[in-house]
Amino acid sequence: MIKATVFRSGNEITAFELTGHAESGPYGFDLVCAAVSAVSIGTVNAASVLTETDLEVKQGDEGGYLYVRIPDSVSEEHMGKLQLLFEGMVISLKSIEEEYSKFIKVYSG
């Protein structure tokens, strides 16, 4: 199962972590894994480019792990954009969870 944990300070997302494997299908045909990967990596790439922010990113060598943290030094303008992008990611992950709750759980404070 994939566990998605969203870390917040007040109402603002500060980081998120994805752990585990969906195992909803054979390797290469796991639709839940593909969806979660596309949503999360797409969000990280968009956030980095659109806000010119160097996010702290840690990945597992074999997959199954992604940690992303927004640096404390981000300007207020860029933080607003980052929050919108990351909140959109949370909504997308929760949509996947609604359909595939056996394979993904989203924890968002």
Of the candidates 12, 20, 21, 65, the residue annotated as catalytic is 21
Q: How many angstroms separate the CA atoms of 23 and 105, rounded?
A: 13
The 10s digit of each residue's pLDDT in 87-106 is 999 999 999 999 999 999 99
Residue 27 — very low, low, confident or very high, per pLDDT cuts 50/70/90? Answer: confident
Please indicate whether residue 33 is annotated as part of the active site. Answer: yes
Of the candidates 4, 6, 18, 33, the residue annotated as catalytic is 33
Assigned CATH class of 2-108: alpha beta
Distances (CA, A) of 39 to 15, 71, 72: 15, 21, 24
Please indicate whether residue 78 is annotated as part of the active site. Answer: no
Tell me the pairing of strands 104-108 and 2-9: parallel
Q: What is the rounded average pLDDT of the residues 48-58?
A: 97
Look up the pTM and report it. 0.94
The two most distant CA atoms of the chain are separated, in Å, by 43
